[in-house]
């Protein structure tokens, strides 16, 4: 049976799944965690993948070349949520940490920043209003203002002040400002590297940092005529239309993501 030609954008989900099924052995699926596999929660520690996700991802991993989760969360957190998955790679902290084949690899250039991040987390707890949830991630500090959106300006100003003082990078997100080491790593770079040997790749995201991953798939298509990338957004009121407008397809929720994957696998 002849393989399908690379679809052109815009396209239907059915066309995308047909191409994916024909190239399954050289296809990679990438997923963000928060807002894509799990609903976003006021308390980040309370986030759990939707009930059907674990089985769907394990089944998908048995059909395609690779499945990976690419998240701002640390690998330790992702492992606690996906410990039962034996064939899913985990990229934590925008790719500064990688869990692959039973081993965690940390970007060496980021390791010297661990003490500074610990100090920064303590400073944030002292200097910012109590309503701000400070999430220390070893190699980054996230400042959540979901329960106090009126403090967004205060948090952003404080984050930029600390970034200038310490030479850090800032990353905005859904009701969060994050401070990271000045190491050249983001989701787009993870995807660019991850698709070099692929004929097909999907990325599911919901936040501004995921647009870089979408851009990486578009860039690969531009230089490799036989490569096909599918960008899927998950709708939310906090990023408005910006993420959806950068995607090929928008799904309504993490539950819809799980159902979409389960339905799509019937094409294989």
SS3 109: helix
β strands within 102-251, DSSP E: 103-106, 133-136, 141-144, 169-173, 176-180, 200-205, 228-234, 249-251
C-alpha distances out from residue 241 to 25, 195, 236, 244, 247, Å: 33, 26, 9, 5, 10
Whole-number Å distance between alpha carbons of 129 and 120: 15
DSSP letter at 4 equals: P
C-alpha distances out from residue 106 to 75, 171, 201, 212, 230, Å: 10, 19, 24, 21, 28
Cβ–Cβ under 8 Å, residues 29 and 66: yes
- Report which of 237, 243, 203 is spatially closest to residue 219, judged by C-alpha positions: 203
First to last CA, the chain: 13
Whole-number Å distance between alpha carbons of 56 and 134: 32
Cβ–Cβ under 8 Å, residues 195 and 185: no
Please give the radius of gyration of the chain, using alpha carbons only, rounded to the nearest integer: 19
**In the structure encoding, which two tokens stand for residue 245, read together?**
């407008």
Whether residue 32 lies in the annotated active site: yes
Which one is catalytic: 22, 32, 186, 248? 32
Catalytic residues: 32
């Amino acid at each position: 049976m002849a393989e399908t030609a690379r679809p052109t954008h815009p396209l239907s989900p059915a066309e995308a799944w047909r191409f994916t099924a024909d190239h399954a052995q050289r296809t990679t699926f990438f997923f963000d965690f928060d807002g894509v596999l799990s609903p976003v929660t006021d308390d980040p520690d309370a986030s759990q993948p939707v009930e059907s996700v674990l089985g769907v991802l394990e089944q998908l991993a048995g059909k395609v070349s690779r499945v990976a989760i690419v998240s701002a969360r640390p690998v330790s957190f992702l492992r606690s949520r996906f410990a039962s998955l034996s064939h899913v790679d985990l990229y934590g902290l925008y790719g500064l940490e990688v869990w692959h084949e039973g081993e965690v690899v940390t970007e060496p250039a980021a390791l010297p920043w661990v003490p500074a991040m610990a100090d920064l987390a303590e400073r944030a707890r002292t200097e910012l209003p109590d309503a701000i949830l400070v999430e220390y991630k070893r190699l980054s500090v996230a400042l959540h203002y979901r329960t106090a959106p009126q403090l967004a300006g205060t948090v952003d100003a404080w984050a930029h002040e600390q970034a200038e003082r310490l030479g850090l990078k800032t990353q905005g997100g859904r009701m969060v400002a994050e401070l990271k080491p000045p190491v050249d790593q983001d989701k787009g770079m993870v995807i660019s590297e991850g698709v070099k040997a692929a004929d097909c790749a999907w990325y599911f995201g919901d936040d501004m940092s995921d647009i870089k991953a979408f851009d990486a798939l578009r860039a690969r298509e531009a230089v490799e005529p036989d490569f096909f990338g599918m960008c899927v957004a998950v709708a939310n009121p906090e990023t408005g239309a910006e993420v959806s407008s950068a995607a090929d397809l928008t799904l309504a929720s993490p539950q819809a993501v799980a159902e979409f994957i389960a339905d799509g696998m019937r094409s294989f």
